[in-house]
Chain A
Amino acid sequence: MTDALHILSLGKGGWGGALLLAAGVTFALSILGFLLGAFFGAVAASGGLSPRAVPSWLAKAYGTVFRGVPDLLTIYLLYYGGSIALTEIGKLFGSAGFVGLPTFATGVLAIGIISGAYQAEVYRGAYLAVDPGQFEACKALGVARFHSLRLVIIPQLMRHALPGLGNVWQLVLKDSALISVIGLVELMRQSQIGAGSMREPFVFYLAAAALYFLIAAVTGSVFRYGETRAWRGMVHA
């Protein structure tokens, strides 16, 4: 037990600092991926809500593929696919070796694409939950479409979207561990490195689990606070 404390200490020879730093990378990776996913999700949701066939079909295909295929496979596609393309471009400029994609950017993109597919469903459902009278009132008052979305619809839509977004965020945080397979030193990869070099896998993976749990718990309460705030002044069941 004292061994474990020594290994995980923040001082000299301890891995605590490295693990905390890696937890920071995990957090940054998740946040940026989640925000990128919000963009993809919003675009896909508006496609899914469109009465036209092509956007609605594209949105549906995007959702079906990236929610149905293992996330690991998507990560391999982006990393290897991107690196192979980059290597080909490198050859044109006379570089001979394999050019790897930057792992952090690839991770953000992968999480963005995957979580966007989930977020699209959340936004679509939340949009449909907004009272149709609100749209009609905007039209009756002559509010421009962009303004009615920004000032009236989206604030109300977020009330319905927040619980679902909270679930997607938890999914994103846990998915970020998979980015370790392409070599990005986030919390999972740093624990693997520590476990290998100290020959103490149990201590390191337990510490990683605890840190993931902590991040999930703290950020979860931020979402709950946001929910209370979004509903302030409203009576709801």
Chain B
Amino acid sequence: MIDLHFFVEIIPTLLSGLPLTLQLAGLSIAIGFALALLLALAQQGNHRMLVWPIRAFVAVFRGTPLLVQIFLIYYGLGQFRPTLQAVGLWWLFREPYWCAIIALSLNTAAYGSEILRGAIQGVPRGLVEAASAFGMTRIQTLRLVVLPLALRQAIPSYSNEIILMVKGTSLASIVTLMEVTGIAQGLISQTYRAVEVFVAAGAIYLTINFTIISALNALETWLTPYRVRA
């Protein structure tokens, strides 16, 4: 029933999409994290002019499907080609690659900023007060006390978000990028062997996700040496 030769044949083909999958995931997770941190910190100040637009951005990107976001950026903004050319941004929005990265980054920034905001607020108030009693500046408090604790606290939730992003890169195949899922779909329609292709492509994604989860678990344990994990 299950044909091993077929697996041996399709796995290299599927793996040829792995660099693109990893690039899309890696770049958008990195850009998204930087943005998420900025957004979370900007909300700490409670300036209404700053907090309100960020809340709106977060609500919109969390409340609409990623696929709509990708289409809006790739096809939707393509409609404004003359304007984008005039401001010199057309090279960015012309490429499905960059559009996918922009959409994925903005999406994960919205989810990530909520995770980080919660983690920053979870840092005990007494620690911040102690830091200011020691004469630390606000930047020093942030860098030496608040962020190390908050980021460690955020690891479990953030690793879920990272997994969702790895899965999210598969949507790039709908805007013509041949990453692992795009190649898998091509193979299914050529060979009519949906189960085998699903198993092989699924195994690639599970391996990526398992590696990420193990690495982040190890990071968390390393940062929390005194806590014995259940």
Contacts and interface: CB of A to CB of B under 8 A. Distances in A.
Interface of A: 64-65, 67-74, 76-77, 80-81, 84, 170, 173-178, 180-181, 188, 191-192, 195, 200-202, 205-206, 208-209, 212-213, 216-217
A179 B163 CA distance: 21
Interface in B59-95: 59-60, 62-69, 71-72, 75-80
B63 A72 contact: no
B198 interface: yes
B195 A81 contact: yes
A77 B60 contact: no
B184 interface: yes
Nearest to B201: A73
A76 B192 CA distance: 11
Contact of B72 (A76, A206, A216): A206
A201 B181 contact: no
B68 A188 contact: yes
Lowest 9 CB-CB distances: which A-B pairs, in order?
A70-B170, A81-B194, A177-B65, A202-B76, A201-B75, A174-B65, A77-B198, A80-B194, A205-B72
Given A84-B192, A205-B75, A68 B198 contact: no
Contacts of A77: 194-195, 198
Contacts of A209: 60, 64, 68-69, 72
A65 B202 contact: yes
B63 A71 contact: no
18 contacts: A65-B206, A68-B210, A73-B170, A77-B194, A80-B194, A84-B194, A174-B64, A175-B65, A176-B65, A191-B71, A195-B75, A200-B79, A201-B75, A201-B78, A206-B72, A209-B60, A212-B64, A217-B63
Nearest to B188: A80
Contacts of B64: 174, 209, 212-213, 216
Nearest to B170: A70
B185 A202 contact: no
Contacts of B173: 72
Contacts of A71: 167, 170
Contacts of B43: none
B189 interface: yes
B205 interface: yes
A69 B80 CA distance: 35
B34 interface: no
Name B's interface SS: helix
Nearest to A214: B63
Given A71-B167, A209-B60, A213-B64, A201 B194 contact: no
Contacts of A206: 72, 76
B interface, how many residues as a size bin? 35 or more
B209 interface: yes
Contacts of A74: 198
B60 A213 contact: yes
Which of A68, A192, A213 has the most C-beta atoms of chain B within 10 angstroms of its own C-beta?
A: A68
B65 A69 contact: no
Nearest to A216: B63
B192 A212 contact: no
A202 B78 CA distance: 8
Nearest to B21: A70
Contacts of A180: 67
B171 A72 contact: yes
Nearest to B169: A70
A67 B167 CA distance: 9
A173 B63 CA distance: 9
A170 B61 CA distance: 12
B189 to A, nearest CB: 7
A205 B71 CA distance: 7
Interface in B171-214: 171, 173-174, 181, 184-185, 188-189, 192-195, 198, 201-202, 205-206, 209-210
A202 B77 contact: yes
